[in-house]
Amino acid sequence: MQTRLLRSLLALLCLLAIPAPAASKPNVLFLFADDMRADSVAALGNPVVKTPTLDALANRGFVMRNAYCFGGNSAAVCTPSRNMLLSGNAFFRWKDFQPPQGAKGMLAPGDGPNWPLSMKDAGYETYHEGKRGNTAPLIQAKFEHNLYINENQDRTGGEPGKQIADDVTKFLKERKDPRPFFMYLAFGNPHDPRVAAQKYHDLYQRDQIPLPKNYLPQHPFDNGEMTIRDEALLPWPRTESAVRKELHEYYATITAMDFHMGRIIATLKELGQLDNTLILFSADQGIALGSHGLLGKQNLYDAGMKSPLIFAGPGIPHAASDALVYLLDIYPTVLDLVGAAKPAGIDGQSFRPVLTGSAKTVRNELFFAYRDVQRAWRDDRWKFIRYPQVNVTQLFDLQSDPDEMKNLADLPAHKPRVEQLLAKLKESQAKFTDTLPLTVPNPKPAKWTPPSAEELAKAKAAKKAEKK
């Protein structure tokens, strides 16, 4: 009897000594668009655009309504944005950054903390596919699977997003690795050129597409980037019909991309992995497309810097938040969600407490920088933008003016607030080691006259000659 009991106790002790299997970590699928405004998803308030895949994510997931790109040290804002995303650091931290424009410092250093390496260290199989040249090669090389799309075919073949969906669905069906996966799918859409098949265009009536609420035919002053490539895609002033044509192509491209994103999610469901996959959707920044009389992303208005951001999957409640976050916060947030530690020395902050409901916010303010021509600051109410080269200041009350249309900076009643927020902006500059003066000795005239087609052609030719 005693022998039998002893054997039973020994068996029980052996069982207790065997560690319980760790809770399985979720897969992570990050769908990342290119030049997609925060208001370009139907479920996020756009009554026109057709995005059933993204709507389904938003309708079961968590929407961050104030997610922003930090800015850009290059007119090709996509590049610094994606480097900040994967490094978790603002571009001022990069060793190759050279003020004031930072033309040689668009890529994050590959020898510091980065998202693919952190996920691999956390036990993930890592996969990237997307457009070439937008992230430091040394960081891209940290992905175990690193694929590049044919950008021209992807953007002009009529089915934007198809190549990524084809490759990813094949990979998912054939993979044997027992580890959970981390997929960073960096779509090249809806960046121009935007060529979607006719079936996607037919979903929209061009003359019924509403213009942005803050549409203007022309920007009211020189913001420092008035003739950049993006802005030269349409003549000035921008007519309503021309902007509607741009929006028609934009929405058709988004709908096509949404369809192919849906194919990836359907494959996860088919393989029985959807319920254990954390799905994120965002974009590198927005794009003006008529807002404020602009077309591109070389501005610090919400139209240029604000991105959609959706989390959906295990442990993520269906809710929404107005908390202020940067895109570079996504990296440490995902690490937090999968139980991995945040690397030391990065600017990104986890907003997991917002997602779980234990905190309303993790940042009280945001700072933005674009080359040497624009700086901005915002909190939960006020947005302050400074244009040093032309001595222009903008102040917007985002509670009453979310579309940033009424500049209060020159009103005497707001002079104390302008001084207060200028001080806040300088504090933020110091925090990020930004040395750009907010005033210059001889500012240029703020008034701007659009160049003629001939003048624009000459300017382009001169720039090409300079590069040679």
Read off the pLDDT of residues 259-291 as tens digits, 9 standing for 90 and up.
999 999 999 999 999 999 999 999 999 999 999
Our measurement of the distance from residue 351's CA atom to the centroid of its chain's CA atoms, rounded to an integer in Å, reads: 16
More confident residue, 101 or 247: 247
User: Would the pLDDT of 100 be above 80?
Assistant: no
Calculate the dihedral angle through the C-alpha atoms of 447, 450, 455, 457, rounding to the nearest 10 degrees: 130
What is the rounded CA–CA span in Å between residue 64 and residue 348? 16
pLDDT of residue 19: 29
pLDDT of residue 158: 97
Distances (CA, A) of 74 to 77, 91, 135, 284, 373: 6, 10, 13, 14, 11
User: Would the pLDDT of 104 be above 80?
Assistant: no
More confident residue, 464 or 129: 129
Per-residue confidence band for 216, with pLDDT thresholds at 50, 70 and 90: very high
Whole-prediction pTM: 0.92
Distances (CA, A) of 175 to 123, 230, 260, 273, 453: 16, 40, 20, 13, 53
Quote the DSSP letter at residue 44.
Answer: G
Cβ atoms < 10 Å from Cβ of 274: 17
| Assigned token pair, 32 | 């990342």
Domains and CATH numbers, the chain: 27-364 (3.40.720.10), 369-467 (3.30.1120.10)
Find the mean pLDDT for residues 423-445. 97
User: Would the pLDDT of 20 be above 60?
Assistant: no
pLDDT of residue 468: 57
pLDDT of residue 29: 99
Find the mean pLDDT for residues 188-195. 96
What is the rounded CA–CA span in Å between residue 181 and residue 290? 39
User: Would the pLDDT of 6 be above 60?
Assistant: no
| Assigned token pair, 350 | 């986890």
- Percent over 90 (pLDDT), the chain: 85
Find the mean pLDDT for residues 334-351. 97
| Assigned token pair, 183 | 């997929």
pLDDT of residue 135: 83
Q: What is the mean pLDDT of the chain?
A: 92
Find the mean pLDDT for residues 236-257. 98
Number of H helices, E strands in the chain: 14, 14
Per-residue confidence band for 39, with pLDDT thresholds at 50, 70 and 90: very high
Strand runs (DSSP E) across 102-224, as ranges? 125-130, 145-148, 181-186
What is the rounded CA–CA span in Å between residue 366 and residue 236? 32
User: Would the pLDDT of 123 be above 90?
Assistant: yes
User: Distance between terminal CA atoms of the chain?
Assistant: 94
Among the residue ranges 64-73, 138-147, 245-254, the one predicted with the least confidence is 138-147
pLDDT of residue 105: 63
